[in-house]
Chains A and B, each alone.
Chain A
Amino acid sequence: MSVMEQDSAGAPARASLMNDPKIRSIFYQLVLVIAVVSLGYFIVTNTITNLERQNIASGWSFLENTAGFGTNQSLVEYSETSSYGRALYVGFLNTLLVAAVGIIFATLLGFIIGIARLSNNWVINRLAYCYVELVRNIPLLLQIFFWYFAVLRSIPGKREKWSIFDTFHLNIGGMRLPKPIWEPGSEWVGYALIIGIIASFFVSRWARKRQEDTGQQFPVFWSGVGLIIGIPIITYLVTGMPMTLEHPNFVESGPILRQGFELNVGINVIPEFLALTAALSIYTASFIAEIVRAGIQAVSHGQTEAAHALGLRNGPTLRLVIIPQAMRVIIPPLTSQYLNLTKNSSLAVAIAYPDLVSMGGTVLNQTGQAIEIIGIWMAVYLSLSLITSAFMNWYNQRMALVER
């Protein structure tokens, strides 16, 4: 494959056809096309006969059939009587959920470690170095197993709990959180939040314009925080506090089987989710840390010196000079790490967290529709990755250095 001929010897007047680069190129490509097409034909015909032999009807009609299996986490209404299509949708949403939460934690942890890696403090520096070298050289699957089978098995059983601030409760059944109950009137808080975001957007535009015109600065960040947080809080108070928290109810007395957390009170985060998020974010954070470190180091020291010479203090130097330039280097590999995290979340199948691959695997086992299920998996992950790379190309174009 890919035999490429760039015979650039200045074509003499009467070169034989065999040595004409154009003819050769057409010939090689033709060979490749024939090879690919015949391979495709071979595969398709074999698949058709094999499917016929195994009595598997290919097609998408199985998605309508009743799934008949439950799940321990779903973001939308789902029960055993739901269809296979619904099951896959639940799995897809769970994948997105674990990826989103994982990305947030991985970013936070990664930036902290990456900056710690540049610290002048020897202890902090070495700790961050050890973290990175330790975590990224151990397979992710092993880390998931470690968190799920080793760590989460050594926390209290169903009849006991660990509590943090009496709000977060942890035991082997997962983590219990208070659940917000929205009462009528609470929608105004949501509107207030939207108004706050829009207002802060206009304030920042106005402030930039004023600074360009007059040179006077305006505390955009703090006014934005005030608008986005303040307006909803005021609305919340004015409308008479329409939201209450439903705290998990821990039964400590009575028959032993009744002890423990009452079902369906508060939010229960399943242990699979905890283990998967912990492993994914800790693992990915080690890669993000290296990206952040490299990005900041890529900004030459002259930039800091020049900013200081202009009279900027340390804070504004970092905010206005270093970070914008470092971000240019950091963002592209960062997005590809986010994509990796999303793809790695498919390891959920090893601890039976109901993500797309895990739910799809169950559907595959029940229906035998291997081609369709694997097709769905690949289509979903492929489109996620294509969207990401489209974003990356757009960002790179926007951020590319404009040179003369």
Chain B
Amino acid sequence: MANTNLFHIRTEEAPHLAAPISTTGIIGWMRQNLFSSIGNTVLTIIGILLAYWLIAPLIQFALIDAVWTGQNREACLPQVGGHSGACWAYVEAYFPQFIYGRYPSEEVWRVNIVYALFLMLLVPLAIPSVPFKRLNAVLFLIVFPIIAYYLLTGLVIGDWVILPIVETAVWGGLLVTLVIAVTGIVASLPLGIALALGRRSKMPIIRTISIVFIEFWRGVPLITVLFMSSVMLPLFLPEGVTFDKLLRVLIGVTLFSAAYMAEVVRGGLQAIPKGQYEGAMALGLRFWPMMYLIVLPQALKLVIPGIVNTFIGLFKDTTLVLIVGMFDLLGQIQSSFTDPTWSTPSQGHTGYLFAAIVFWCFCFGMSRYSIFMENKLHTGHKR
């Protein structure tokens, strides 16, 4: 009786069983994320249908039905009974115009050099691990603009024509877009920082002027600023003094984005604790060294996303110059629609698709880079 064993001790481990197939791998993931409930399943199906309904026609248009080569509109005309696809042959034929505008073809090498220099200086500047950052920045911000200016506009000393003059009226396409965007970006940052400091200044007049300036430019649409720079600026100048149209637009765009930049930078300055200022002063730093060495590096680091957003906004806003009669990338594409050689039903769609791809790549690239830099510079705040 007494030796009946009423308990059991397991002496060896139970065999490890694999997790149920419905909770692991792709099936488990799908069950959890896509079909966890009836509502969720309905949403998934609607979502897939929506995606299919949006993406399938796009792929059909841009890739499957597309015409890749051809000499003129004949190639891109819709076949009998068939759909008309994107006419990439037209983009190919117009590609030089989209990139250089009506820049004289024998001088295009100058634009190419500028593009190449720009990339050669920008890429090492953008990669954090490449050395000689200071030299690189000086080259990019001071030397490059001078070289680019003379390369693009031409250089004539006395009677000696080194580089023939090319009027900005014939510039166009991506060249104008990039010139406006890069100049605007490079010039608006220092101006914006100055305005932000002015707005935070303790001197009442400087503060008031900064506030009025910032609020004025932020309150009006860019298109009215462009109208102002193209219609009103000539009225402001003495007789005989004329500005190049591109330069007038550049001034308008720069002032406009400087105001936005100022507000972004001010946000960063406000986030810096007062102790940082006091610490810098205690070390005996005067105003500019304090700003340059202590406050601005921290403040700007905090607002990198805001700064890049302003850049992206500025880049997108460059398209507005077509309204005041300049030919940026979009303007050049828009004006190419009048060419009867390539006039087909799909021409407009193709042109806009091309413009959208180009702009999207630039803007998305900038936003990704800002996320990358944000993580890279995110030092000291992490726990």
Residues on A facing B (Cβ under 8 Å): 1-2, 4-9, 25, 28-29, 32-33, 36, 42-43, 46-47, 49-51, 53, 119-124, 127, 133-134, 136-142, 145-146, 149-150, 153-154, 343-344, 346-347, 349-350, 357, 361, 364, 370-371, 374, 377-378, 381-382, 384-386
Q: Which residue of chain B has its CB nearest to the CB of A133?
A: B364
Q: Which residue of chain B has its CB nearest to the CB of A146?
A: B352
Residues on B facing A (Cβ under 8 Å): 33-34, 36, 40, 43-44, 47-48, 50-51, 194-195, 197-198, 201-206, 209-210, 215-216, 218-224, 227-228, 231-232, 234-239, 281, 284, 286-287, 312, 316-320, 322-323, 330, 334, 337, 345, 348-349, 352, 355-356, 359-360, 363-364, 367
Are A33 and B33 in contact (CB-based, < 8 A)? Answer: no
The listed residue (B51, B219, B236) touching A385 by CB distance below 8 A is: B219
A140 neighbours in B (Cβ, 8 Å): 316
A139 neighbours in B (Cβ, 8 Å): 316-319, 330, 359
- Complex Cα gap A385–B218 (Å): 8
A346 neighbours in B (Cβ, 8 Å): 221, 223-224
Are B227 and A53 in contact (CB-based, < 8 A)? Answer: no
User: Could you pull out 11 A-B pairs where Cβ atoms are within 8 angstroms?
Assistant: A6-B287, A46-B238, A50-B239, A124-B44, A137-B316, A139-B319, A142-B356, A150-B352, A364-B227, A370-B235, A385-B219
B322 neighbours in A (Cβ, 8 Å): 141, 350
Q: Which residue of chain B has its CB nearest to the CB of A379?
A: B220
B254 CB to nearest A CB, Å: 14
Are B235 and A47 in contact (CB-based, < 8 A)? Answer: yes
Q: How many A-B residue pairs have CB under 8 A?
A: 178
Are B209 and A46 in contact (CB-based, < 8 A)? Answer: no
Are B359 and A138 in contact (CB-based, < 8 A)? Answer: yes
Are B360 and A1 in contact (CB-based, < 8 A)? Answer: no
Known: A134-B360, A370-B232. A1 touches B224 (CB 8 A): no
Known: A2-B195, A4-B203, A123-B34. A50 touches B221 (CB 8 A): no
A348 CB to nearest B CB, Å: 9
B216 neighbours in A (Cβ, 8 Å): 378, 382
Q: Which residue of chain A has its CB nearest to the CB of B330?
A: A142
Q: Which residue of chain A has its CB nearest to the CB of B277?
A: A6
Are B40 and A347 in contact (CB-based, < 8 A)? Answer: no
- Complex Cα gap A321–B215 (Å): 36
A29 CB to nearest B CB, Å: 4
Are A123 and B44 in contact (CB-based, < 8 A)? Answer: yes
Are A127 and B51 in contact (CB-based, < 8 A)? Answer: yes
B352 neighbours in A (Cβ, 8 Å): 142, 145-146, 149-150
The listed residue (B287, B356, B367) touching A7 by CB distance below 8 A is: B287
The listed residue (A6, A25, A378, A385) touching B224 by CB distance below 8 A is: A378
- Complex Cα gap A1–B210 (Å): 9
A357 neighbours in B (Cβ, 8 Å): 221, 223-224, 227
Known: A141-B322, A381-B221. A46 touches B236 (CB 8 A): yes
A349 neighbours in B (Cβ, 8 Å): 223, 323
Known: A4-B203, A47-B235. A121 touches B47 (CB 8 A): yes
Are B220 and A343 in contact (CB-based, < 8 A)? Answer: yes
The listed residue (B34, B40, B209, B363) touching A36 by CB distance below 8 A is: B209
Are B281 and A6 in contact (CB-based, < 8 A)? Answer: yes
Are B235 and A137 in contact (CB-based, < 8 A)? Answer: no
Are B231 and A142 in contact (CB-based, < 8 A)? Answer: no
Listed from nearest, the 5 A-B pairs whose CB atoms lie closest are: A2-B198, A123-B47, A137-B363, A385-B219, A139-B316
Are B235 and A347 in contact (CB-based, < 8 A)? Answer: no
B316 neighbours in A (Cβ, 8 Å): 137-140
A122 neighbours in B (Cβ, 8 Å): 33-34
Are B219 and A142 in contact (CB-based, < 8 A)? Answer: no
- Complex Cα gap A122–B337 (Å): 41
B250 CB to nearest A CB, Å: 18
A57 CB to nearest B CB, Å: 14
Q: Which residue of chain B has its CB nearest to the CB of A50?
A: B235
User: Which of A29, A32, A50, A121 has most B Cβ within 10 Å?
Assistant: A121
Are B206 and A1 in contact (CB-based, < 8 A)? Answer: yes
B323 neighbours in A (Cβ, 8 Å): 141, 347, 349-350
A1 neighbours in B (Cβ, 8 Å): 194, 198, 206, 209
- Complex Cα gap A385–B217 (Å): 11
User: Which of A137, A350, A371, A378 has most B Cβ within 10 Å?
Assistant: A137
A268 CB to nearest B CB, Å: 24
A4 neighbours in B (Cβ, 8 Å): 197-198, 201-203, 206, 287
Known: A7-B286, A141-B320, A141-B322. A120 touches B219 (CB 8 A): no
A32 CB to nearest B CB, Å: 6
A141 neighbours in B (Cβ, 8 Å): 319-320, 322-323, 330
Are B231 and A364 in contact (CB-based, < 8 A)? Answer: yes
Q: Which residue of chain B has its CB nearest to the CB of A127?
A: B47
A50 neighbours in B (Cβ, 8 Å): 234-235, 239
Are A28 and B203 in contact (CB-based, < 8 A)? Answer: yes
A213 CB to nearest B CB, Å: 39
Q: Which residue of chain B has its CB nearest to the CB of A51?
A: B235
Known: A25-B203, A139-B330. A377 touches B220 (CB 8 A): yes
Are A381 and B209 in contact (CB-based, < 8 A)? Answer: no
Are B236 and A382 in contact (CB-based, < 8 A)? Answer: no
Known: A49-B239, A139-B317, A370-B231. A29 touches B206 (CB 8 A): yes
A33 neighbours in B (Cβ, 8 Å): 205
Are A2 and B34 in contact (CB-based, < 8 A)? Answer: no
- Complex Cα gap A134–B218 (Å): 26
A382 neighbours in B (Cβ, 8 Å): 216, 219-220
Known: A4-B203, A139-B319, A142-B359. A347 touches B223 (CB 8 A): yes
B314 CB to nearest A CB, Å: 11
The listed residue (A43, A137, A146, A386) touching B236 by CB distance below 8 A is: A43
Are A2 and B48 in contact (CB-based, < 8 A)? Answer: no
- Complex Cα gap A378–B286 (Å): 40
A262 CB to nearest B CB, Å: 29
A204 CB to nearest B CB, Å: 31
A69 CB to nearest B CB, Å: 18
